[in-house]
């Protein structure tokens, strides 16, 4: 992955993980979101570090470190600068924050618990909550 792609992907995956947790995993165990988020972030870290240190090649791109900074576009970022390694570490350390920010947006849109509808509730034509959770 590339830094310019990772951050939006983590935001979207955080929202998707929040929906999966609400719909499927919360009833089984309330700690599943932690494990799901940890697995996603660990995967992004492993692939990102392997690309940055040129351990795995990127097809169609000569230098994988250059790919981490510029993706498929020529953004003009030189990855060999002195402060680029420190900036890369700070970007990797921010990955959990981007994932959690996306998860918070997901909880706002879909709701946190099975009985909550979130923002999507307004778009439904029929109330699908169990009768025990309805106020009528």
In the chain, what are the domain boundaries?
A: 3-123
What 8-state DSSP symbol labels residue 116?
-
**Distance in angstroms (rounded) separating the CA atoms of residues 32 and 47:** 23
When computed from its CA atoms, the radius of gyration of the chain, rounded to whole angstroms, is 19
Instruction: Tell me the pLDDT tens digit for each residue of 21-45.
Output: 887 777 777 778 888 899 999 999 9
pTM of the model: 0.77
What is the rounded average pLDDT of the residues 71-78? 71
* DSSP 8-state secondary structure symbol assigned to residue 73: S
């Amino acid at each position: 992955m590339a830094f310019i792609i990772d951050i939006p992907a983590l935001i979207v995956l955080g929202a998707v993980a929040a929906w999966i947790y609400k719909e499927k995993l919360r009833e089984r165990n309330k700690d599943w979101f932690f494990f799901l988020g940890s697995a996603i972030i660990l995967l992004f870290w492993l692939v990102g570090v392997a690309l940055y240190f040129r351990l795995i090649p990127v097809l169609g791109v000569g230098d994988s470190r250059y790919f981490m900074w510029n993706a498929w576009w020529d953004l003009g970022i030189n990855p060999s600068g002195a402060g680029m390694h420190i900036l890369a570490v700070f970007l990797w350390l921010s990955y959990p924050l981007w994932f959690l920010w996306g998860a918070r947006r997901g909880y706002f849109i879909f709701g946190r618990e099975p009985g909550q509808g979130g923002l999507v509730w307004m778009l439904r034509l029929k109330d699908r909550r169990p009768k025990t959770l309805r106020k009528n």
